[in-house]
A and B are shown apart, each in its own frame.
Chain A
Amino acid sequence: EIVLTQSPGTLSLSPGERATLSCRASQSVNSNYLAWYQQKPGQAPRLLIYGVSSRATGIPDRFSGSGSGTDFTLTISRLEPEDFAVYYCQQYGNSPLFGPGTKVDIK
């Protein structure tokens, strides 16, 4: 069974800075079935990225995904005030699984 690990647990940055979030799988993710979600307090998650690097509808291009095999990255090129949230990676093979999340908070 795949285990997803996200790092860091918390990332403290200022608006305008670049955020780099890591997601590591304990074994290779099938067909690069890796997605990223954003969740703000009191809200449902929002799909950002699927298939490692494809942005979902309406997602700004400051969000980008990369990686392959077991190591994946979500990059936010310049943080906007609305980007401070928790980010989850998800592998979507036969049994979908989420990582524990990375919180991006304001420094």
Chain B
Amino acid sequence: QVQLVQSGAEVMKPGASVTVSCKASGYTFTAYYMHWVRQAPGQGLEWMGRINPHSGDTNYAQKFQGRVTMTRDMSISTAYMELTRLTSDDTAVYYCARDVGTGWNVFDYWAQGTLVTVSS
């Protein structure tokens, strides 16, 4: 069965960087795009970007351009999302979510989420 498992909660200082991992299992990792979506406390969902695990090609939301980097390690079926220059506005639950295919931007499987807290 398809499963996405993310790394644990993080507490970061303003100005720091955070990396969240997302390990996939139960399907061919390189056959489906992977997305990252975040949700600030009590707020809605915000798409951050996606990666094609086969090629490594990425597309980022304009808001995060220059601050986010998405990568993958095919050998361990894991995607990563690094966000730099953190501020308190980046406090949120970060989700990885699998695309239904190759770039449809519809998300059929989601991980459990990783809470990133930015606080001095």
Contact = CB atoms under 8 A, between A and B. Distances in A.
Interface of A: 33, 35, 37, 39, 44-47, 50, 56-57, 88, 90, 92-93, 95-101
B32 interface: no
Contacts of B61: 95
Given A44-B95, A50-B100, A95 B47 contact: yes
Interface band, chain B: 20 to 34
B105 interface: yes
A56 B108 contact: yes
Interface of B: 35, 37, 44-47, 61-62, 95, 97, 100, 104-108, 110-113
A96 B108 contact: no
Contacts, number: 48
A86 to B, nearest CB: 9
Given A44-B95, A44-B113, A50-B100, A98 B108 contact: no
25 contacts: A33-B105, A37-B107, A44-B95, A44-B97, A44-B110, A45-B37, A45-B107, A45-B110, A47-B108, A50-B100, A57-B108, A88-B44, A88-B45, A90-B45, A90-B106, A92-B105, A93-B105, A96-B35, A96-B47, A96-B105, A97-B47, A98-B44, A98-B46, A98-B47, A99-B44
Interface centre among B106, B110, B113 (most CB of A within 10 A): B106
